[in-house]
Structure 1
Amino acid sequence: MTDPIRTRREGAILEVTLDRPKANAIDLTTSRIMGEVFADFRDDPDLRVAILTGAGEKFFCPGWDLKAAADGDAVDGDYGVGGFGGLQELRDMNKPVIAAVNGICCGGGLELALSADIILAADHATFALPEIRSGTIADAASIKLPKRIPYHIAMELLLTGRWFDTTEALNWGLINHTYPAADLMAQAWDMARVLASGPPLVYAAIKDVVRDAEDSKFQDTMNRITKRQLASIDRLYSSDDQLEGARAFTEKRDPVWKGR
């Protein structure tokens, strides 16, 4: 049996490819491996950006492996660190993650893409949350989707399980950009290189603040920022990188970010 997850590392960028023929479905073992990969990415100070994609041209990921479930994988089993797919519940993931959706992206696969910070898609990609047709709930999507796109559209997609294409996904702001399939990974790497050249401590602070603000009042989060009660904010405000940003501006040069 081949490893269901392939990784490629170039400088500060990690590419993670889900490779489980025929459809890149995720079973418990694969989810645990993905959790380890993304936890290692999170904790490696030399890595700054991750790209998640699927092998082949037809499937990004259809989500949960129903064949594995029929063979005994419990739907409420041990998904490993980070929950399903290693990303949905991974604590303190303060680095940018790009989902490069190369094909069918449905169910838990769409929920996995929603766990990324930026979603790029091949122009032939299609999306759905078909759990309703199987008599179950798209749990993570039920939490996330109404916060990402208009409520009534999110509810239609959740309640009907219908398919939609990249044109509609772009229209609702669900994905950032779409490209011809042959150009998708090059575009994802270009985006990753832009992010990798940026200030990692600022990225961490942005993600931390966005997470905190999801369930807080505006002023409560602002108070935590000004009082440096968020660890990422405290680290940023005490960092050499913040001084470097000011120095680079006054010296009219590009900043050199060191992440400290």
Structure 2
Amino acid sequence: MTDSPIKTQRDGHVLEVTLDRPKANAIDLATSRIMGDVFADFRDDPDLRVAIITGAGEKFFCPGWDLKAAADGDAVDGDYGRGGFGGLQELPRMNKPVIAAINGICCGGGLELALSADILLAADHASFALPEIRSGTVADAASIKMPKRIPYHIAMEMLLTGRWIDAQEAARWGLVNRVVPAADLMTQAREMAALIASGPPLVNAAIKEVVREAEDMKFQDAMNKITKSQFETVERLYTSEDQLEGARAFAEKRDPVWKGR
């Protein structure tokens, strides 16, 4: 995708997705629809196991919604495409791990996009905010997600004031997994992706589905759903070749060879 605002690169089982839309990597409706297609294709490609989402350049990861495009007629409630805004946060059956490599300013819808990833690595100069309050609108997805990810009172302060936090504070509250030197960000993201991709893909899928579906369930209800074979990915795992391969590899004291089936 050389002329697209979304650049993709495959490396083995890993897909790198780069938001490249100068000057700030803001997302308009057309870009969001492309992102939805990219992540849906990633989800459905049996050879891909992990994705990395990052921004081009060194200043912006993503500031969210493109207000200039909105001023030119892009409706805030327009067609975002598959997966909703940014193509990821509402994409159904997304049972593959996604790493966000946050290379700069990450705010508004950009922070909501990052929150849709499973692991967040931040460059040491990255910064975060939910400034929607200052423009008289609501950070809807963040209002749902943030109080579940970080302490309630910190999330509410960010939502109600639009206050910026730096990468170190974000790590302190558990918003990101770790802070790394900017020059090492993609190297560490790729190492993390390679580590996850080397693992059993059917287990990764089961983990993602169980975590997602059980988020608002009582513990015993979720366990009952597992034992009644009501999680598709768990049932597929328990009847798979990989399940047998894991046991055989352990017994034979060798590394398992995962086939994803």
What TM-score comes out, normalization by structure 2 length? 0.99
What CA distance in whole angstroms lies between the structure 2 residues aligned with 1:163 and 1:152? 15
What CA distance in whole angstroms lies between the structure 1 residues aligned with 2:162 and 2:214? 29
> In structure 2, what is the equivalent of residue 151 of structure 1?
152
Q: Does 1:183 align with 2:184?
A: yes
Q: For 1:16, what is the secondary structure of its paired residue?
A: strand
Please give the per-residue CA displacement for 1:144-179, whole angstroms capped at 9, x wherever unaligned. Answer: 111111111111111111100011101011101111
> In structure 2, what is the equivalent of residue 15 of structure 1?
16
Give % identity.
81
> In structure 2, what is the equivalent of residue 28 of structure 1?
29
Q: For 1:17, what is the secondary structure of its paired residue?
A: strand
- 1:81-96 alignment, distance < 5 Å: 81-96=82-97
Q: For 1:156, what is the secondary structure of its paired residue?
A: helix
> In structure 2, what is the equivalent of residue 77 of structure 1?
78
> In structure 2, what is the equivalent of residue 98 of structure 1?
99
What CA distance in whole angstroms lies between the structure 1 residues aligned with 2:44 and 2:72? 34
What CA distance in whole angstroms lies between the structure 1 residues aligned with 2:180 and 2:152? 27
> In structure 2, what is the equivalent of residue 225 of structure 1?
226
> In structure 1, what is the equivalent of residue 61 of structure 2?
60
> In structure 2, what is the equivalent of residue 141 of structure 1?
142
Which segments of 5 or more consecutive residues in structure 1 lack a partner in the other structure?
Answer: none
**How far does residue 26 in structure 1 lie from its aligned partner after superposition?**
0.1
> In structure 2, what is the equivalent of residue 201 of structure 1?
202
Q: What is the letter of the counterpart of residue 73 of structure 2? A: G
What CA distance in whole angstroms lies between the structure 1 residues aligned with 2:209 and 2:60? 31
Bigger mean CA offset, 174-183 vs 112-121: 174-183
What CA distance in whole angstroms lies between the structure 1 residues aligned with 2:228 and 2:183? 48
Please give the per-residue CA displacement for 1:117-152, whole angstroms capped at 9, x wherever unaligned. Answer: 000010000000000000000000000111111111
Q: What is the letter of the counterpart of residue 175 of structure 1? A: V
Q: For 1:120, what is the secondary structure of its paired residue?
A: strand
What CA distance in whole angstroms lies between the structure 1 residues aligned with 2:191 and 2:249? 24
Q: What is the letter of the counterpart of residue 52 of structure 2? A: I
What CA distance in whole angstroms lies between the structure 2 residues aligned with 1:178 and 1:172? 12
**How far does residue 3 in structure 1 lie from its aligned partner after superposition?**
1.2
What CA distance in whole angstroms lies between the structure 1 residues aligned with 2:48 and 2:210? 21
What TM-score comes out, normalization by structure 1 length? 0.99
**How far does residue 212 in structure 1 lie from its aligned partner after superposition?**
1.2
Please give the per-residue CA displacement for 1:167-200, whole angstroms capped at 9, x wherever unaligned. Answer: 1101011101111111100110000000110011
Runs of 4+ in 1 over 3 A off after TM superposition: none
**How far does residue 240 in structure 1 lie from its aligned partner after superposition?**
0.7
> In structure 2, what is the equivalent of residue 251 of structure 1?
252
**How far does residue 2 in structure 1 lie from its aligned partner after superposition?**
3.3
